[in-house]
Amino acid sequence: MRSKKKILITGADGFIGSHLTEELIRRGYDVRAFVMYNSFNSWGWLDHSPKEIKDNLEVFAGDIRDPYGVKIAMQDCDIVLHLAALIAIPYSYHSPETYVDTNIKGTLNIVQAARELGIQKVVHTSTSEVYGTARFVPITEEHPLQGQSPYSASKIGADQIAMSFYDSFDTPVSIIRPFNTYGPRQSARAVIPTIISQIAGGQRKIKLGSLHPTRDFNYVKDTVEGFISVAESDKSVGEVINIGSNYEISIGETVELISEVMSIDIEIQTDDIRLRPEKSEVERLWADNQKAKKLLGWEPSFGGRDGLKRGLIETVEWFTNPINLAGYKAEKYNI
């Protein structure tokens, strides 16, 4: 693929999107960043990017729910990496309609415009949450989809909309399905940042929800490589591809590993407000990543317990920087 293809990244102002935007610019791509319009003229995490990144970045401020703005943003682009979404599971219990508008209708706006404009490829972002509690492990792409929260249901809907345009109109769609990405800049509503930020903020009694569920954590650098691999491979069109470490660990064990990395003894307190409704909790996630390896040649650099520990060390280093930590409200629960 030519290094100067023009790529639109929706959700470029977010956690994964900002890392992906920066890496693509470093690799010489022509990048247009779609950020959420706001009166503060904030570009989200891209405001913190190095000057050499900002100097080579085109920014489009808009709203993924607006089909007209989406189509304008996509004009003259070769590839669209669609990450814009509402992702907080607790907030989806509170305001489910916003998840339908943003995640399902937003995705429809992307693939409809892609069809009309003749976009060369759309990479749509899914999530491991669409699988729900694992019925078998490791979880392959053929695992049943189970909407155990309004968030996961909206992402299942978005995935189906995206793939329906491939089946119906030959719109070149690929679906990337990352498992539990973590790393610098992640929202404190996610479990790893909430643990680290509480400890870094001086707390020794850490408030958490359920400790027994298992997850397959992926360091953000591996997730970014997954996106680039899917974008660059012709073999990914029409495919759903897991991006995961193929390593399962419980939340409780993850807390112990973070405590070890930070060399601080802590006490865990169960905070009822952080517990999901019983039937909504996803009890087990463990990725089968063989398809990504065979189809794309992608594999995690931060796999296994050793890789998770290395990723946590980098994450802790970022969060314990006082400038970065100041952006978080570690003492408050983040819905």
- Check pLDDT > 90 for residue 330: no
Query: 59, exposed or middle or buried, with CB in 10 Å at 0-12, 13-18, 19+?
Result: middle
Q: Which of 180-184, 270-274, 275-279 has the lowest mean pLDDT?
A: 270-274
Of 284, 274, 286, 128, the residue nearest 210 (C-alpha): 274
Name the pLDDT band for 3 (thresholds 50, 70, 90): low
Of 170, 133, 131, 141, the residue nearest 296 (C-alpha): 141
Active site residue 151: yes
Q: For residue 5, what are the CA distances in angstroms to 33, 65, 76, 172, 250?
A: 14, 26, 10, 16, 41
Per-residue confidence (pLDDT) for residue 1, from 0 to 100 = 43
Report the alpha-carbon distance of residue 300 to residue 320 in Å, rounded: 25
Residues 274-322: tens digit of each pLDDT: 677 878 889 999 999 999 999 999 999 999 999 999 999 999 999 999 9
The tokens describing 225, both together, are 């490589």
Report the top-level CATH class of 6-184+218-246+284-301. alpha beta
Which sequence spans correspond to the domains of the chain?
Answer: 6-184+218-246+284-301
| Annotated active-site residue in 151, 166, 247, 328 | 151
Q: What is the CA radius of gyration of the chain?
A: 19
Residues 6+ apart with CB under 8 A from 64: 10, 11, 34, 36, 70, 84, 102, 106, 109, 110
